Amino acid sequence: MKLLTVNFLTCAIKACKGSPAAFPLHFRDVELELQDVDFQPEFIRNIITRVDWEGLNKMANELNFPNIPEMKPEGEALENDQLLKDLHRFLLETQVAEGKLICGNCGHEYMIKEGIANFLLPSHLV
Amino acid sequence: MSRPEDILPPDLFYDDNESRKYTTSSRIRNIQADMTHRALELLDLKSPSLILDLGCGSGLSGEILSQESPEQGGPHTWIGMDISPSMLDIALQRGTEGDLFLADIGQGVPFRPGTFDAAISISAIQWLCNAETSDVSPEGRLRRFFEGLYASLRRGGRAVCQFYPKNDAQRTMISGAAIKAGFGAGILEDDPGTKNSKLYLVLTVGGGGLQGDITGVVDGMNDVDVLDARRKAMERNHGSTSRKGDKAWIMRKKEQMTKKGKVVKANSKYTGRKRRPAF
C-alpha cells in the first residue's frame, strides 16, 4: 500500500467520524518495500493539493524519513524536478507490505498483509 | 437465469474457484473491458487522476485505468475495495498497480473528504441490495455507501457505477439512495431492450465545471437520447386540470368502475351536468 493512500485513510468506525484523532492512522510493526512506479509529474502536481501535509509529516516522523519539506510545496516549487522525484519516491514508490494501522481515537487495529489492508468491520462497530 | 446475488453473499460466492473462473474467462474480460472504457468516457478525465474502484475484484477494470494512454488523460492511479479475499488474492498474483483494500462498501468508504477525482464501479453495487444478516438492511447499506462515496469525492468529481439490478424496484432503490446522499444522478442505458443491455448510474458532485443538470454529462456523445422523466412528470401535473366532481372526473370514475365490472349507469347528455341553483 502506497504511503499516499495512507495519507487519505481515516478510521472506518462510525464513532470516529469527525474526531481529529482518527487521522492520520498510526503505524505499528511496519515493513516497507520499494516498488517501481512510472514517474508522472502531472499526477503529483494534481494530487499534492489534496495531501494533508501535517499528517504526512507525522507519518514521515513515525517512519524516520528525514527529507520531507516542512511546508507544502506550492506554485513554482512544483516545477522543481528533483523535488517531484523525491515526492514520487516517498508517496508512490515506498509501500507498506506488512504491519498494522492504528486509529488514534478508538485504538482499532487494521491489519496489512501483503500490501492489502483489512478494513472489514464487525457489524456492531459499523 | 440464476443471479449470483441470489445464491450466496459476495465474499463466499467468489471463492478461489469462482474468482479464478471469473478472471480467466475471456468473455467476462471482454465485457468488463468494454464497460470500463464506457465508464471512463463518461468520467471525462483530462489529466492523470486518483480513482476509487468499488468492488474492484481481481483488478480487471483497474488495469485498464492504469493503461489509459496519455492522450486520453491517463494513466490513472487507482485504489480498489473488494469484499472477496479470493478475488484480491488473484489481483495480487496478477500484480495490479492499484492499492487494494479488503472492505465492505456497504459499511462506508473510509477515506478523508475530497480524496478522489472520480470513482468507478463495475458490476458491484447490486450486491448492496442483499442483506445477509438481520442487523443490516439493504437501505441502510446503500445509504452508508452513497454517503461515504459522496464525501470522499472532491467537488466536481464524478462516479460511474455499472450495475445489474434484479428488477425495477432495485433500480429505483439504488438511484433513490444516490440522490438522497446528495448526488446529481442519471442512468445511462446501453443497448436497451436487448440481452446485452447495460445500466450505468452516473453521479456528479456539485461545484465543478459541469453546467446545468446531469444530462450535461452526455452532451456531445453520439447515439445518446435523453429521456427526462422529470419533464414528463411536470407535464402530467400541468395537463390534468380535472377537479374532483367535474365532468371529466365523473367520466373517468365511471370508466374505472366499468373496467372493474361494476354496473354503471349509461352516459347521457345529463351526465355530470351542473344542477341549477335551487332558488
Residues of chain A where predicted confidence (pLDDT) is lower than 50: none
State the best of B109, B112, B155 to mutate against chain A, taking most chain A CBs within 10 Å: B112
Q: Which residues of B touch A41 (CB under 8 A)?
A: none
User: What's the rounded Cα separation, in Å, for the pair B138 and B159?
Assistant: 20
Whether the per-residue pLDDT at B279 is higher than 90: the answer is: no
Say if residue B115 is in the same domain as residue B144: yes
The pLDDT score that the predictor gives to residue A125 is 76
Q: Residue written as cell 446528495?
A: B182
CA dist list (Å): A79 to A74, A76, A86, A87, B69: 9, 5, 13, 12, 23
Say if residue B93 is in the same domain as residue B67: yes
Task: Please tell me whether the peptide bond between A24 and the residue prior to it is cis, using omega within 30 degrees of 0.
Answer: yes
Say if residue B178 is in the same domain as residue B256: no
C-alpha cell at B36: 470500463
Say if residue B203 is in the same domain as residue B253: no
Pairing of strands B198-204, B184-190: antiparallel
What's the total number of domains in chain A?
Answer: 1
pLDDT digits (tens, 9 = 90+) for B44-78: 888 899 999 999 999 999 999 988 888 887 789 99
Phi and psi of B80, rounded to 5°? -110, 145
Chain A to chain B Cβ contacts (< 8 Å): 83
ipTM, two decimals: 0.91
The pLDDT score that the predictor gives to residue B217 is 73
Contacts of A48 (CB under 8 A, 6+ apart): A72, A73, A78, A87
Pair A113, A98: CB distance under 8 Å: yes
Q: Which of A83, A103, A81, A85 is CA-nearest to residue A94?
A: A85
What domain range is B111 assigned to?
4-233
CA dist list (Å): B92 to A35, B36, B146: 14, 20, 27
Say if residue B147 is in the same domain as residue B32: yes
Say if residue B168 is in the same domain as residue B88: yes
Q: Do A43 and B77 touch (CB under 8 A)?
A: yes
Say if residue B74 is in the same domain as residue B135: yes
User: What confidence tier does B228 reach under pLDDT thresholds 50, 70, 90?
Assistant: confident
Say if residue B31 is in the same domain as residue B144: yes
Radius of gyration, alpha carbons of chain B: 24
Q: Do B115 and A8 touch (CB under 8 A)?
A: yes
Phi and psi of B82, rounded to 5°? -150, 155
Q: Do B77 and A92 touch (CB under 8 A)?
A: yes
Percent of chain B with pLDDT over 70: 91
Whether the per-residue pLDDT at B274 is higher than 90: the answer is: no
**CA distance between the termini of chain A:** 23
Q: Which of B277, B255, B276 is CA-nearest to residue B267?
A: B255
User: What's the rounded Cα separation, in Å, for the pair B81 and B88?
Assistant: 9
A65-68: long-range pairs with CB below 8 Å, 24+: A65/A90, A65/A94
How many of the other CB atoms lie within 10 Å of CB of A103?
22
Helices (H), ranges, chain B = 4-7, 10-13, 16-24, 26-43, 60-67, 85-94, 138-152, 168-180, 229-239, 247-260
Helix (H) or strand (E) holding A56: helix A53-63
Say if residue B277 is in the same domain as residue B177: no
What domain range is A80 assigned to?
3-125
Of B207 and A96, which is predicted with more confidence?
A: A96
pLDDT digits (tens, 9 = 90+) for B107-157: 989 999 999 999 999 999 999 998 878 888 899 999 999 999 999 999 889
What's the total number of domains in chain B?
Answer: 2
Global pTM? 0.83
The shortest CB-CB distance from B79 to any of A5, A42, A123 is to A5
User: What confidence tier does B261 reach under pLDDT thresholds 50, 70, 90?
Assistant: very high
The pLDDT score that the predictor gives to residue B1 is 63
CATH code: domain of residue A30: 2.20.25.10
Say if residue B256 is in the same domain as residue B183: no
Q: Which residues of A touch B136 (CB under 8 A)?
A: 123, 126
User: What's the rounded Cα separation, in Å, for the pair B27 and B196?
Assistant: 13
User: What's the rounded Cα separation, in Å, for the pair A49 and B154?
Assistant: 12
Pair B200, B231: CB distance under 8 Å: no
Task: Please tell me whether the peptide bond between B75 and the residue prior to it is cis, using omega within 30 degrees of 0.
Answer: yes
User: What's the rounded Cα separation, in Å, for the pair A60 and A86?
Assistant: 13
Q: Which residues of A touch B102 (CB under 8 A)?
A: 116-120
Nearest residue on chain A to B102, judged by CA atoms?
A118
CATH code: domain of residue B147: 3.40.50.150
Of A35 and B217, which is predicted with more confidence?
A: A35
Nearest residue on chain A to B148, judged by CA atoms?
A12
Q: Do B48 and A115 touch (CB under 8 A)?
A: no
The one-letter amino acid at A25: L
What is the distance in angstroms between the Cα of A112 and the nearest Cα belonging to chain B? 9
Say if residue B153 is in the same domain as residue B275: no
